[in-house]
A and B are shown apart, each in its own frame.
Chain A
């Protein structure tokens, strides 16, 4: 692949500014990490705007009745990004914010990966990659069969797209023309060991989804307007599943964390690191 194209994709989202709400959600994530002293912080930070637009403007749900049958189903298949999901679910009142302060603790419901049945608003237990899309297909087929009209959203990561099961599922979604299913890819281009280009290149990524029968749109995954526009146009085609490839930045919101592989997962996070993160975020 042309190196300038790679550069363009990696650059996408780097300069996108963050507003007050985006910073506050990230603060909530940092406070959650402070409680648990660990977490996939950078993987959560690339997700914040995607989840924010979904939960603020797109999804139909009732925090007081998380299993409301008519709700839209949203699966965070990249379960390691759960810090961002927990922040938005707490923000929306699915559970009290005080639960965040028990992150990864024995008396809490919020673990390092999200679990259905434990956490109100979590549709599927994820953490091992490559499971959410197949589950989402079952949900979407069922919704179509029952004509219940709700929609299904599955958020996958780029590293997750290394999994063969993602592409088994993609074939299946394409076959069934699941227009009530939308995949959002958090394409931050960093996996654990290195960049996605080095570890297992996904490009041409959009072409792959197209070839599997999806209608594809690419957006800056930190640009609220672009996300809003794409998500309010769903389905992108009336007879196909949709995929929105969100070009994001791993660690978005903390300059020294951005695209820094050291931040994929952190444990034993110190008070000093927490303070430094909060300061860096505020100055972003």
Chain B
């Protein structure tokens, strides 16, 4: 996904002179062709993330569209104030490409895990957040980022995630994508968790439970209408994200449901990372399993909630 994202920056920059790329101290050879062909629009400015954001704001104030890339936590945690003031307050066209959203850097430990990036970016006025499900969706997303007004955070997953979307899957920034319909429960996901959500829905289908899967490639601005519309049709709603349960997609959906004032009662659960720094290393997959972010945990959660909601009221 990362490779596709950066290749797209290069392809888009070839066609659009407004596009500027700023990296921190990325891997050797990153965007080599970009640097060769468009040296005046390629900057690699070292481990000085706060400065990168300010610089990007300066370029954007002059009409440039700036793609900034480094590790997600170093952007969102370290540069929070620069993002808030230089980018969001000025509402400039800077796109932050955060490598390793979620648990991608599991072997590197908690300094590198981006588990509250969505929460803190979501709290900032004017900021938009996108988290594609796979490389295919990333390919279709990137052209849409060029003219999107204001700052945008692009959350990258790891390199070779399975592809679950197709070129026919609809995509528009700010719109939810209903991947499959279902009348028993609603599973809402973002980013690469879509794969596990679809698996969970298939497993439940074999048991006669129909689960609607709503993929949120955009977490902000949130497509609250579609969430409310889908939530209205079911009794059980579960969110699933590679992120803290505090402040991310689950919280955003909870807010929509809480304010939805549905006539029928709803059962709701957020699947995500508990309020802690994950203490284990291993692989992204093993850490996801450790945190309960699997198709099977979604299945059991939905089953439990359905049992509770099917229980006759006394």
Contact = CB atoms under 8 A, between A and B. Distances in A.
B51 A172 contact: yes
A103 to B, nearest CB: 20
Interface in A208-265: none
A141 B81 CA distance: 22
A128 B51 CA distance: 14
A131 interface: yes
B51 A134 contact: yes
Nearest to A77: B54
Interface stretch (A4-12, A24-32, A161-169, A266-274): A161-169
B85 A172 contact: no
B56 interface: yes
Given A145-B40, A169-B51, A138 B61 contact: yes
B66 to A, nearest CB: 8
Contacts of A137: 51, 54-55, 58
B55 A138 contact: yes
Interface string A119-133: 000011100101111
Choose among A134, A146, A175 the residue with the greatest number of B CB atoms under 10 Å from its CB.
Answer: A134
A102 to B, nearest CB: 21
A142 interface: yes
Contact of A135 (B40, B46, B81, B86): B86
Given A131-B85, A134-B86, A142-B64, A172 B58 contact: no
Nearest to B56: A138
A139 interface: yes
Interface string A139-173: 11111011000000000000000001100110110
A196 B62 CA distance: 35
A139 B58 contact: yes
Interface in A97-136: 115-117, 123-125, 128, 130-136
Given A124-B61, A125-B85, A165 B55 contact: no
Interface string B23-59: 0000000000000000011010110101111111111
Given A134-B50, A134-B51, A142 B62 contact: yes
A202 B98 CA distance: 35
Contacts of B51: 134, 137, 165, 168-169, 171-172
What does DSSP make chain A's interface, helix, strand, loop or mixed? helix
B93 interface: no
Contacts of A116: 61, 90
Interface in A43-59: none
B297 to A, nearest CB: 42
Contacts of B50: 130, 134, 164-165, 168
A7 to B, nearest CB: 35
A141 B43 CA distance: 10
A81 to B, nearest CB: 17
A134 B53 contact: yes
Contacts of B69: none
Contact of B59 (A130, A132, A141): A141
Contacts of A136: 58
B82 interface: yes
B185 interface: no
B89 interface: yes
A223 to B, nearest CB: 31
Contacts of B45: 172, 175
Contacts of A138: 54-62
Interface of A: 115-117, 123-125, 128, 130-143, 145-146, 164-165, 168-169, 171-172, 175
10 smallest beta-carbon distances between A and B, as pairs: A138-B58, A134-B54, A168-B48, A168-B51, A138-B55, A165-B50, A135-B58, A139-B58, A138-B59, A142-B62
17 contacts: A117-B90, A124-B57, A125-B85, A125-B90, A128-B81, A132-B54, A134-B57, A135-B55, A136-B58, A139-B62, A145-B41, A165-B51, A165-B54, A168-B50, A169-B54, A172-B48, A175-B45
